[in-house]
């Protein structure tokens, strides 16, 4: 196998693992590279660079994304994929729009002809986790985005379901929509609609999709599009990336053998199990509530009062729990929107997240170094980003998945532990009990 054809720039780590999982499910081998990469990627079909750019300052998000995209282009990727959240998590300042603008400019700079004015084309629709886009309105299961629990996210509250409107607030470029009637009419019609949008000067095109077939139609249209020698810039959540892999691989999911090969990981030593939950999403709070093992609470107020002492106390409580049980121990700061708002007014906006992320990183690193933790489950994208930075991990391989978007990951080349980076809204309510069965 040679270098990757699909190169994704993911705005958080859980999203990167979700995409790598979805592509692996199609039999395409995928790796996740944490942070700004150096050197050529290992052999794979899809390389995903996991950034922590969803809520970073705009200039940093754009700079990191461009560095990642240039590396992917140099590695030979012909499709550059901007991976954002299936619930479009962002603020009016960005970072989905500014990063999309920068990637389009990178791909088309100095090019004439079809590649010259090519827009980015994408969709957050990911039917396997209940995200669909209809008339530009994003649905989370049966709810409009703005009526879903995402309206109360601590960092990126989503209170508008109309993604053409949301994205238009983040970019000066015109945002066009290819609606579902066109998508259902097939790849030729989609291709024509994207071309029409390009000719009227659209910088970004969002595409409705309700089913995997819709995504396959879109992927077919994109892979056929004449873009000269410029890389194609696609965007969205895991759904479209998987469809690109599926369509390119011949239209149907690859046979089981390929799927298994795409998820082969080396053996990991036995050891303790730890869960670190920093997500306040409704699903994570349900998973915390359903967990019946030892629970150690982590409070931003305690961390603000004395960071070092609070972290020491949490680790001491985890060590104490391990003296009496082999069960996984849960360290959680997950709180409901009322409590999160109270912390924010007490400590100042963003301060709780800053403290809790720093604490999550330190707790993970010390639990591995001193308590023998070898299986780690984290909940929340920002939380995962903080943990992986503290652990200094580089390349991650995709292992078995415990549900859609929930693969166990193993660091390469040193498989010293297995980690499951759970996205806030993913996983069955009992996941904190059931996830371990498939751990490598
Ligand atoms: N009790 C709390 N009060 C305020 N903020 C909190 C609290 N607990 C966690 N946080 C912060 O809220 C943020 C949650 O974001 P995170 O990305 O980790 O979860 P998520 O958004 O649910 O997951 P995903 O991005 O995968 O959907 C983190 O920065 C975390 O540190
Ligand atoms: O698309 C999703 O919902 C996830 O991959 C994600 O981005 C979590 O942060």
Ligand 2 center to 43 CA (angstroms): 25
Bridge-based pairing state of the strands 373-379 and 418-422? parallel
Mean pLDDT, each 10-residue run in order, the chain (440 residues): 88 95 93 88 92 96 97 94 97 96 89 71 96 98 97 93 98 97 97 93 96 96 74 91 92 61 89 97 96 98 98 98 96 95 93 97 98 97 93 94 95 94 95 96
Alpha-carbon distances of 312 from 302, 316, 317, 366, 407, rounded to whole Å: 12, 6, 9, 10, 30
Q: Does the beta carbon of 238 sit less than 6 angstroms from any atom of ligand 2? A: yes
284-308 per-position pLDDT tens digit = 999 999 999 999 999 999 999 999 9
Half-sphere exposure of 245 (CA within 13 A, CB side): 31
Ligand 1 center to 339 CA (angstroms): 13
Alpha-carbon distances of 171 from 31, 60, 203, 426, rounded to whole Å: 30, 16, 9, 29
Q: Which of 356, 359, 384 to mutate for ligand 1's pocket (most ligand atoms within 8 Å of CB)?
A: 356
Residue 243's H or E segment, with its range, is helix 238-248
Q: Does the beta carbon of 12 sit less than 6 angstroms from any atom of ligand 1? A: yes
Residue 408 tokens, joined: 């166990």
Q: Give bridge partners of residue 212 from the DSSP assignment.
A: none
Q: Does the beta carbon of 279 sit less than 6 angstroms from any atom of ligand 1? A: yes
Query: Quick one: pLDDT at residue 118?
Result: 85
Instruction: Round to whole Å and give the CA distance between 322 and 319.
Output: 5
**Are residues 208 and 214 in contact, defined by beta-carbon separation less than 8 angstroms?**
yes
The residues, ordered by sequence, that sit 6+ positions from 189 with a Cβ below 8 Å of its Cβ are 182, 183
Q: Does the beta carbon of 18 sit less than 6 angstroms from any atom of ligand 2? A: yes
Burial class (CB in 10 A: 0-12, 13-18, 19+), 150: buried
Ligand nearest to the CA of 149: 1
Ligand nearest to the CA of 129: 2
Query: Quick one: pLDDT at residue 110?
Result: 67
Ligand nearest to the CA of 237: 2
Instruction: Round to whole Å and give the CA distance between 89 and 123.
Output: 13
3-class DSSP state of 371? helix
Q: Does the beta carbon of 280 sit less than 6 angstroms from any atom of ligand 1? A: yes
- For the question of an ipTM over 0.90, the answer is yes
Ligand 1 center to 428 CA (angstroms): 19
Query: Quick one: pLDDT at residue 384?
Result: 95
Ligand nearest to the CA of 55: 1
Residue 11 has what DSSP assignment? S
Which pTM value belongs to this model?
Answer: 0.92
Residue 213's H or E segment, with its range, is helix 212-224
| Of the candidates 17, 37, 1, the residue with the CA atom closest to the CA atom of residue 407 | 17
User: Closest ligand 2 atom to the C-alpha of 423?
Assistant: 8
Instruction: Round to whole Å and give the CA distance between 156 and 153.
Output: 5
Which residue has the CA at smallest separation from atom 4 of ligand 2?
Answer: 15
The distance in angstroms from the start CA to the end CA of the chain is 24
Residue 128: phi, psi to the nearest 5?
-65, -20
Query: Quick one: pLDDT at residue 117?
Result: 72
Q: Could you give the domains of the chain?
A: 6-262 (3.40.50.10840), 272-392+414-438 (3.40.980.20)
Query: Quick one: pLDDT at residue 257?
Result: 57
Residue 263 tokens, joined: 């998820």
Query: Quick one: pLDDT at residue 16?
Result: 96
102-144 per-position pLDDT tens digit = 999 999 886 766 556 789 999 999 999 999 999 999 999 999 9
């Amino acid at each position: 196998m040679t270098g990757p054809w699909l190169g994704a720039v993911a705005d958080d780590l859980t999203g990167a693992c979700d995409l790598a999982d979805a592509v692996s499910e199609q039999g395409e081998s995928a790796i996740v590279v944490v942070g700004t990469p150096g050197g050529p990627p290992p052999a794979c079909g899809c390389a995903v660079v996991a950034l922590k750019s969803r809520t970073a300052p705009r200039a940093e998000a754009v700079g990191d994304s461009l560095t990642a995209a240039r590396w992917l282009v140099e590695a030979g990727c012909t499709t550059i994929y901007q991976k954002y959240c299936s619930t479009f998590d962002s603020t009016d300042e960005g970072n989905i729009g500014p990063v999309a603008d920068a990637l389009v400019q990178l791909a088309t700079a100095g090019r004439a002809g079809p590649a010259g004015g090519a827009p980015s084309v994408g969709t957050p629709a990911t039917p396997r986790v209940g995200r669909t886009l209809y008339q530009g309105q994003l649905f989370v299961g049966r709810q409009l985005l703005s009526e879903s629990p995402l309206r109360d996210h601590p960092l990126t509250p989503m209170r508008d379901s109309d993604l053409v409107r949301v994205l238009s607030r983040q970019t000066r470029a015109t945002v066009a929509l290819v609606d579902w009637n066109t998508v259902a009419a097939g790849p030729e019609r989609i291709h024509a609609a994207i071309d029409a949008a390009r000719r009227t000067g659209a910088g970004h095109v969002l595409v409705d999709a309700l089913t995997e077939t819709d995504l396959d139609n879109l992927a077919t249209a994109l892979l056929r599009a004449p873009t000269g020698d410029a890389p194609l810039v696609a965007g969205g959540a895991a759904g479209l990336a998987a469809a690109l892999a599926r369509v390119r691989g011949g239209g149907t999911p690859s046979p089981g053998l390929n799927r298994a090969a795409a998820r082969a990981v080396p053996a990991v030593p036995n050891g303790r199990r730890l869960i670190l939950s920093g997500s306040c999403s409704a699903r994570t709070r349900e998973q915390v509530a359903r967990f019946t093992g030892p629970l150690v609470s982590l409070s931003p107020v305690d961390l603000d009062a004395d960071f070092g002492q609070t972290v020491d106390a949490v680790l001491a409580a985890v060590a104490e729990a391990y003296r009496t049980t082999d069960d996984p121990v849960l360290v959680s700061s997950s709180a409901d929107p009322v409590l999160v708002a109270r912390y924010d007014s007490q400590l100042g906006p963003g301060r709780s997240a800053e403290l809790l992320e720093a604490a999550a990183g330190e707790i993970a690193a010390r639990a591995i170094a001193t308590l023998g933790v070898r299986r780690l489950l984290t909940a929340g994208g920002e939380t995962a980003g903080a943990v992986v930075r503290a652990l200094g991990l580089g390349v991650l391989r995709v292992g078995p998945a415990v549900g859609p978007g929930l693969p166990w990951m193993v660091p390469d080349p040193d498989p010293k532990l297995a980690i499951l980076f759970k996205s806030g809204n993913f996983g069955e309510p009992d996941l904190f009990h059931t996830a371990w069965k498939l751990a490598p």
